Amino acid sequence: MSAADARAWWRDAVIYQVYPRSFQDSGGDGVGDLAGIRRRLPYIADLGADAVWISPFVRSPMKDFGYDVSDFRAIEPMFGDMAAFDALVADAHALGLKVLMDQVWNHTSDRHPWFVESRASRDNPRADWYVWADPAADGGPPNNWRSAFGGSAWTFDPGRRQYYLHNFLAEQPDLDWHNPEVRAAMIAIGRFWLERGVDGFRLDVVNFYAHDRSLADNPPRPPDVPRPAGAGRGDPYFDHINRGTVCRPETLAMLGELRALADAYPGTVLLGEVSSAEDSLAAAADYVAGDGRLHLAYNSALVTDEPFTAEGLHALIARAQALFPDHRLCWTFGTHDFPRLKGRWAEHARHAEALERRRDALLAALLATLPGACCIYQGDELGLPQAQLAFEQLRDPFGIANWPHVLGRDGCRTPMPWTDAAPHGGFSSAPQTWLPMPAEHLALAVSRQQGDPGSLLETYRGLLRWRRRTPALRGGALRLFPVQGPVLAFARGSGRGRVVCAFNLSPEAATRGLEAMAAGGTHCRALAGDCRIEGDVLVLPGFGAAVLEGSGCEE
């Protein structure tokens, strides 16, 4: 077996994220479900994905739409049943797709039997399965920790006469990961799903697992300490340095138990979400360091308010190279928690339609050519813009609670448009869907783009097919070239298999000298726009992208 053949599947995986409520409704109730996902699996496989990550579908009161779990081993009825899940896994595997299941192990629902028991008294078998603390001297919360969803991170329970910790909604009490019984229970849940055939887990807010047991106050943010990249400017959560609950060093020591579980099932992958960290890129690197922690991590490194420039991207990629020498960063432009890709980047400016299409293709090409794994959030391959919803249409508790200061998550969670020839874009036959179908999304429906070689959907398909068959893009080293004007350029691979990728991050045409990148005679493959070689110069239109490949690419 060659080294390439032995390379773990997850290292270069294209992971397609499905938000079940909004992907496909098969039952006519206006909410997506497992049978709907199963119906659309051929679409995901044809796109070129290697795996599908499915957001939570287990039993939940749906206060946070599945991220508040009341039974980790049961399917939420609105999504189907265990037979529907088993059929989904079988069909996915038959299509060559791996299945990653979202696991919300930082907290449970307040209706979970564990919490019901824990809050009943201070001396029951699960009394210390959650984070409880006595009131402060004035009777208030034990410290100043804030919830990421707004307000205090503590809620008083009159039965126990104590406060419990919740880093998110009050209905999402935090488990105490310092308790070995809790960790053993999570391992058992993971084993249950691995035995059912899943290929790995996306671990929700994995950097929140442990807390500071001293319960010391979080310090206020000094004026000279900037907020983390991507943090909302009006979000009071980041008024403090949240060192008591985010990225505790104790969490890293706990990851070995999760890795041991995964290693017992060869081929399993653990993908961690690193959220709300002061330096999310550096924190993510900690979570995948060595062979005893997670396999992959993703964060908001590409989901920021920073200018969309060649210099900015060059600096980000260089830093990622230094922090992730073995390429365990999973690149992503967005998930169900962030505004749509179309509504960010490119300096938030509007351009002519042709430039908009080219910019979309450039972003797809960038994602396809960066080293390591990548995630594509459902609908980004269609170029869906962020949905603009009225306050009365919102369903996201985070968005509702922080309106209008913080942009909520409903705008990226609207239903997937499959066709412009059916109500609700073919997502559902119900009179009304849980979130509305934006009219502007219908013009970008799958049916409108399928088979159109100039569409973004077909661009993604072509790029992912090319990525899969190009050795330099599967494990090949990355070498950055100095920025010239608005052009970012890097090489992947080495020797005769080397390719050079170039991206014009400007709406104006630009050129890039070839002397430092490749010898003459190199074949130019246009990835976005009409790119060409003229003498010793690569010519790129506004938001153009190209790859140089062929005999002239060897070092």
Asked if 412 and 493 sit in the same domain, the reply is: no
User: Which entry of 273, 278, 380, 410 is annotated as an active-site residue?
Assistant: 273
Q: Same domain, yes or no, for 461 and 498?
A: no
Q: Which of 110, 174, 204, 360 is catalytic?
A: 204
Q: Is the pLDDT of residue 447 over 80?
A: yes
Q: Which domain holds residue 517?
A: 477-553
Handedness of CA 234, 240, 245, 247 (dihedral sign): positive
| Residue 341 sits in the same domain as residue 414 | yes
- 273 catalytic? Reply is yes
Question: Does residue 499 share a domain with residue 394?
Answer: no
The answer for 102, left when phi > 0, alpha when psi is -120 to 50, beta otherwise, is beta
Give pLDDT tens digits for 251-301. Answer: 999 999 999 999 999 999 999 999 999 999 999 999 999 999 999 999 877
Point out the domain boundary residue: 438, 467, 496: 467
Based on the fold, state whether residues 192 and 71 are members of the same structural domain: yes
Q: How far apart are CA 510 and CA 273, in angstroms?
A: 37
Asked if the structure places residue 472 within a domain, the reply is no
**pLDDT one-digit tens code per residue, 299-318:** 877 766 566 799 999 999 99
DSSP state of 208: G
pLDDT at 349 over 70: no
Q: Are residues 191 and 335 in the same domain?
A: yes
Whether 380 is a known active-site residue: answer: no
The CATH number of whichever domain residue 544 belongs to comes to 2.60.40.1180
Residues 345 and 444 in one domain: yes
CA distance 244 to 218: 6
555 has a pLDDT exceeding 50:
no
Shared domain check, 488 and 379: no
Tens digit of pLDDT for each residue in 473-513? 998 899 999 999 999 999 999 777 889 999 999 999 999 99
How high is the pLDDT of residue 402?
A: 75
Query: Where is the domain boundary, 467, 502, 525?
Result: 467
Is residue 134 domain-resident? Answer: no
pLDDT for the residue numbered 81: 98
Give the Å distances, CA to CA, from 471 to 12, 285, 449, 476, 554.
11, 25, 29, 7, 14
Domain holding 271: CATH number? 3.20.20.80
Q: What is the pLDDT of residue 3?
A: 42
Separation of alpha carbons 203 and 402, rounded Å: 25
Is 146 within the bounds of a domain?
no
Residues 412 and 518 in one domain: no
Q: Are residues 358 and 492 in the same domain?
A: no
